[in-house]
């Protein structure tokens, strides 16, 4: 059998488990997963290489109607990930009533085959997979109890073109270490706060020094208002220290060395700031 390799993009509405599936296929926690909607902002590629195939998988933000410049840019990120894909994984979950027809139509226009994937089969909700001509194949899965994921990965690989690997086999992602680590911090902020603070936060690493014994990470956390800044700081800086500590533990495990983290909080109405959005998203 010849080696197969191709580009596969995960799309769908917010919060259906796209990033969970992405991480599950890669067997590595690369993309941020939280119980909140609109967690993913950037498209990110993860690469799964086996002896027989290489899947270059893209996770994308959940598709939302735009109310900020940030959302416009998130939607553009989705559509630009579609182009050049060999296969699309459209994800929904057992709770969702309607598919996102705009997204599906965009894929059909590009004549890219679609797998229809219904996630969260572990939930006690009756769901019957529909046979639909729009989709090449369909799967009922659960990333939580790992049901039917391997079967689906093999079916994905079968549909890829015969092609040599695009990336060398030890490459896991197209993103750099600054991005991966800033996402860990952003994930901790999402876990620590309800409501608006996570959505108003942008994390940026501007100094990343990986020495033999110590990894030093410094950067900025942007929020939009002074009151969000004081919520993020917490009483006497308790909250931000806790977020830094939790992030540090995750990063120390990943690099297996001591990590120093320091973030300064800045206030800027960044989500509608054209220059900011276009330079950073
Ligand atoms: N019960 C159950 N929950 C799941 C499953 N997969 C994901 N979840 C949960 O669903 C929530 C959203 O998961 P994400 O992977 O962040 O979803 P997403 O589609 O990437 O979300 P956005 O990036 O916001 O669009 C999290 O709380 C997950 O733990 C599953 O198979 N079963
Ligand atoms: Mg996501």
For the CA of 100, the nearest ligand:
1
User: What average pLDDT does the segment 62-83 reach?
Assistant: 86
* 172 in a structural domain: no
Residue 45 maps to a domain: yes
Q: What percent of the chain has pLDDT over 90?
A: 77
Which pLDDT does position 160 carry in this prediction? 97
Q: Which residues line ligand 1 (CB under 6 A)?
A: 14-20, 33-35, 37-40, 61-62, 119-120, 122-123, 142-144
Same domain, 74 and 145: yes
Q: Is residue 171 in some structural domain? A: no
Average pLDDT of the chain?
93
> Is 24 in the same domain as 83?
yes
3-state SS, one letter per residue, for the chain: CCCEEEEEEEEECCCCCHHHHHHHHHCCCCCCCCCCCCCCCCCEEEEEECCCEEEEEEECCCCCCCCCHHHHHHHHHHHHHHCCCCEEEEEEECCCCCCCHHHHHHHHHCCCCEEEEEECCCCCCCCCCCCCCCCCEEEECECCCCECHHHHHHHHHHHCCECCCCCCCCCCECCCHHHHHHHHHHHHHHHHCCCHHHHCCEEEEEEEEECCCEEEEEEEEEECCHHHHHHHHCHHHHHHHHHHHHHHHHHHHHHCCEEEEEEEEEECCHHHCHHHHHHHC
Question: Is residue 207 assigned to a domain?
Answer: yes
pLDDT band at 127 (very low <50, low <70, confident <90, very high): confident
Residue 10 inside a domain? The answer is yes
Distance (Å, rounded) from C-alpha 21 to C-alpha 141?
9
Are 120 and 256 within one domain? no
Residues 107 and 191 reside in one and the same domain: no
- 181 and 153 both lie in a single domain: no
Phi, psi of 224 (to 5 degrees): -95, -25
pLDDT of amino acid 111? 95
From 56-70, 79-93, 203-217, the region with the lowest mean pLDDT: 56-70
Residue 200 lies in a domain: yes
Give the confidence band of 233 by pLDDT, cuts at 50, 70, 90: very high
The closest residue, in CA terms, to atom 16 on ligand 1 is: 33
64-73, 92-101, 222-231, 267-276: range with lowest mean pLDDT: 64-73
Ligand 1 centre to CA of 63 (Å) is: 14
- Interval between CA 231 and ligand 1 midpoint (Å): 26
Please say if the pLDDT value at position 130 is more than 80: no
Domain check: are 126 and 152 in the same one?
yes
Are 10 and 148 in a shared domain?
yes
At residue 69, does pLDDT exceed 80?
yes
Tell me: do 91 and 212 sit in the same domain: no
Q: Are residues 72 and 141 in the same domain?
A: yes
Q: How far apart are the CA of 165 and the centre of ligand 2, in A?
A: 26
Range of the domain at 266: 177-280
pTM above 0.85, yes or no: yes
Residue 170 placed within a domain: no
Write b or e for each residue in 153-166: b if 16 or more Cβ atoms lie within 10 A of its Cβ, otherwise e: beebbeebeeeeee
Mean local confidence (pLDDT), 249-263 = 95
Q: CB of 68 within 8 A of CB of 272? A: yes
CATH number of the domain enclosing 57: 3.40.50.300
- 216 — pLDDT class (breaks 50, 70, 90): very high
102 falls within a domain: yes
185 and 150 in a single domain? The answer is no
Lowest mean pLDDT among 63-72, 173-182, 240-249, 263-272: 63-72
Query: Which atom, in ligand 1's list, is nearest to the CA of 119?
Result: 31
Q: How far is the CA of 28 from the centre of ligand 1 (A)?
A: 15
155 and 189 co-located in one domain: no
CA–CA separation, 228 and 265 (whole Å): 10
**Minimum-distance ligand 1 atom for the alpha carbon of 147:** 31
pLDDT at 149 over 90: yes
| Same domain, yes or no: 256 and 117 | no
pLDDT at position 71 over 90? no
CA 208 – CA 276 distance, rounded (Å): 21
Whether 194 and 210 have beta carbons less than 8 Å apart is answered as: no
Is residue 204 a contact partner of residue 219, using CB atoms and an 8 Å limit? yes
* More confidently predicted of 37 and 188: 188
Number of domains the chain contains: 2
């Amino acid at each position: 059998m010849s080696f197969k390799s191709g580009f596969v993009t995960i799309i769908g509405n917010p919060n259906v488990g796209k990033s969970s599936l992405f991480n599950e296929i890669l067997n590595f926690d690369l993309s941020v997963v939280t119980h909140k909607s609109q967690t993913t902002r950037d498209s990110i590629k993860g690469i799964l290489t086996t002896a027989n195939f290489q899947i270059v998988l893209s996770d994308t933000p959940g598709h939302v109607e735009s109310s900020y410049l940030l959302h416009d840019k998130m939607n553009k990120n989705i559509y630009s990930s579609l182009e050049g894909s060999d296969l699309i994984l459209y994800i929904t979950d057992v709770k969702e009533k309607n598919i996102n027809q705009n997204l599906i139509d965009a894929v059909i226009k590009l004549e890219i085959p679609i797998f229809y994937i219904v996630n969260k089969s572990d939930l006690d909700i009756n769901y019957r997979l529909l046979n639909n001509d729009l989709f090449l194949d369909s799967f009922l899965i659960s990333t939580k109890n790992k049901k039917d994921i391997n079967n689906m990965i093999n079916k994905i690989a079968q549909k890829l073109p015969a092609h040599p690997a695009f990336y060398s086999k030890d490459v896991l992602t197209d993103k750099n270490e600054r991005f991966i680590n800033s996402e860990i911090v952003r994930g901790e902020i999402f876990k620590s706060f309800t409501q608006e603070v996570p959505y108003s936060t942008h994390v940026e690493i501007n100094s990343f020094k990986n020495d033999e014994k110590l990894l030093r990470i410094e950067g900025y956390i942007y929020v939009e208002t002074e009151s969000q800044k004081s919520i993020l700081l917490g009483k006497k800086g308790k909250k931000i220290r806790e977020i830094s500590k939790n992030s540090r533990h995750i990063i120390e495990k990943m690099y297996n060395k001591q990590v120093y983290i320091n973030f300064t909080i800045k206030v800027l109405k960044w989500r509608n700031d054209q220059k900011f959005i276009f330079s950073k998203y």
